[in-house]
Structures are given as C-alpha cells and as structure tokens.
Amino acid sequence: LKVNVTLSQHTYDVLIGPDLITRAGSFIAPRVRHKHVVIITNETVAALHLSKLQKSLEETGIRYDILKVPDGEESKSLACYSDTISRLLALGIERNTTILAFGGGVTGDLSGFIAATALRGIPFIQIPTTLLAQVDSSVGGKTGINSPSGKNLIGAFHQPVLVLADNSILSTLPRRQLVAGYAEILKAGVISSMELFEWCEKNGQAMLNGDPSTLAEGVRRACAYKAGVVATDEREQASQNGRALLNLGHTFGHALEAELGYDGRILHGEGVSIGLHLAMALSVQLGYAPASDLARLDSHLRELKMPTSFDWFKEPFSAKTLIAHMQKDKKIHNGKITFILLQGIGKAFTSRDVSIESVEKLLLNEGCLP
C-alpha cells in the first residue's frame, strides 16, 4: 500500500505493508544520493528488530553507522540532542548522508530534528515502529524536542524523503501502545469522515488484536487523511481549520499529560482518547453537536476499553490545574485557547470563542475537583 505526500517543495511516499523492513534496502537505495546512512534507534527497538534492517542494508550495499539513544521521552531533551548530534558529526558525515529514524515517535521526533539541524539540514527517512508513529508522527514533517518549559517547544519542520511503515514490526508492541496509536486513527474519522469512523467501528477490534491486513488498511487510511491535511497547510499557518484540526482532543490530552508527566502513567494516545470524548462532550454542552453522537463515540471507545473518563486514571484531577496547563500550550493566540469542536462525528471546526467558564463547567460535570 502506498500514500503519496505532495507538498509545494517536495513529494514523498509512505509505503505501508508487512515485512517491508526485510526489503528496506531496496526502497532506500534509489532515494539516497550517497550510499551511507546513519540509523538512530534505541535499545528496545534495536534488540527486537535492528538485525533485519542491517541485513537488508548489507544486501543492497548501503554502508551504515548506528547511534543508540535511551528509550523513553527523556531522549527528546536538549542533553540527548546535544550528545547525539555531536556523535553524528564525529562520524564525519556529508550533506548527502541520510538519517534513518528507526523507532517510535520519540526516536522520529529527535532524529528528524537532528536531520533538520545537522549541516543545516540533511535528508532523513522514517521507519516508524509504533502504531502511533506510523499513523501520525512520521508523516507531516514536524520534528522536535522538549524544553524545561514544555513539550515540543524546540523544533523544525523537516519532511522525510521516505516513510516505511512495516506492519509486521507492530507484532511486538504491547496492546496499550496499539490502543494509543489507534486513538489517532479514530481521531481522523471524528474530525472529517463518518466513513472512516464507521470503518473504525467495524475494524477497530481487529486492529487492536493485531490483525496485519487490518492494521495496514488502518495505517493507510490515517496516513492518506494526514497527507491531505498537511498538503493544504504544511506549516500550520491557516487561521482556521487546516492542520490545526489534527489537534482534536489534544488540548485536553496534553493537559493530562502535563499533569501526570511523561513516564508512562499516561500515553499520548490515551490522552487523545479521553480528549476525543471531552471535545465531543464540550461540543454537546455548547449546543454544536447532538448528544447521540457523543453516545456513539463513547460506546465505541468503551467497547475497545479505551479511556473515556477521568475515572480511568484512578486519581482526582483539579479543573483549575488542568485549565492552567491548557493556558500554557503553544497553540495559544492572544491569551485565547484554540479549541477544536465538533458539529458531530466527521465535522470538526476550530474555535477561539470557548470561555474558560464553559471548560470549567465541563470538567466539573466530568468529575474533576474544582
């Protein structure tokens, strides 16, 4: 399966299917000008899957170096960036050396930012190994690291030259990670396509069971959707709709992540899952969306045992604290939070007119403490 991402300056392919990794060399060779690549990965992914990639590169005569970074969100730090880019430059790379980002969204974001900044920009290829990275973070060109002031605050737009999404590689992913990635596929349907939402209702369970052909089709649909949005608004500059719609559920999700931290108590996609519920609930409260669509969304989330309420986390949250996190998000304009609201499933729009009082009312209704 293939999705093409067409942008003003460049276009690239997202190749999707089983066992792509064992043929990686043949896809990569025609796309690199210099037969030297540097693989950036972590111990976990390396132990499970790196040998297949190495073998395939060797078969095609591509020379490679390997740089390992620690597993976990902390590798998206200035310290790890500094250490890794220094090790990269010490290899004596050239402008045509290509980076291979081999791992989940963390590896992809860090490696992409290194590629964007080393020698003022060198090519990079994404080989995403988590469902979240295959359906979301590897496509679209956002790269970056975290700052002590917040997540993803340091970064650059840098598009890959190729994305290789191998669905077989997902067989070693824990179910919780599959659920987190699936939330982003479902999000795409809730934003703009009742047809995709209905596909999710029929196939979500099979995806979470790890069925390879269903996973491939879900990844294809999500990437096709994201490619379309990114093509119309590559750098998230549209004042309305455009790329901003991809943040559906994220204002809430990011607030929860900021509150719980990035050490695994909540996964990004779990925040998105409850965020989808909250965005729809807020839209119903404000009279934009019918309550029946909230019931339909919740019933799907519950059927797949995905988070829909604060109870899921077994600890109380304070509405004031969560709102304070939202007000620190980088998508604030003139002090106003941009919310993505819904007129119903498949009909999202951006709004800067949501009052803090309405958000507070929602959070209290949903069981938060004041």
Site map (CB under 6 A) of ligand NAD, residues 246-275, x = contact:
----------------------x-------
Q: Which two tokens stand for residue 362?
A: 């929602």
Helix axes 268-285, 356-365, angle to 10 degrees: 110
Phi-psi region of 19 (alpha: psi -120 to 50; beta: other; left: phi over 0): left
Is 107 annotated to bind a ligand? Reply is: yes
Region 150-169 residues binding ligand NAD, contact defined as CB under 6 A? 152, 169
- Binding to ligand NAD (CB under 6 A) within 177-236 occurs at 177, 180
Considering only CA atoms, which of 251, 254, 232, 250 is closest in space to residue 241? 232
Could you tell me the smallest distance in angstroms from the CB atom of residue 326 to ligand NAD?
17
Is residue 142 at the binding interface for ligand NAD, with CB under 6 A as the rule?
yes
44 marked as binding residue: no
Q: Which residues pair with 366 in a beta bridge?
A: none
Report residue 350 as tokens.
């951006």
Q: Using the rule CB under 6 A, is 107 a contact of ligand NAD?
A: yes
The reply to whether 329 sits near ligand NAD by the rule CB under 6 A is no
Among residues 81 and 363, whose Cβ is nearest to ligand NAD? Answer: 81
173 binds ligand NAD (CB under 6 A): yes
DSSP assignment of 192-241 equals: H-HHHHHHHHHHHHHHHTT-HHHHHHHHHHHHHHHHHHHHH-TTS--SSS
> Does the footprint of ligand NAD cover residue 41 (CB under 6 A)?
no
Q: What is the DSSP letter of 253?
A: H
Binder among 104, 123, 253, 275 for ligand NAD (CB under 6 A)? 104
Count CB neighbours of 293 within 10 A: 21
- What residues make contact with ligand NAD under the rule CB under 6 A? 42, 44-45, 48, 71, 73, 76, 103-107, 109, 129-130, 132-133, 136-137, 140, 142, 152, 169-170, 172-173, 177, 180, 268
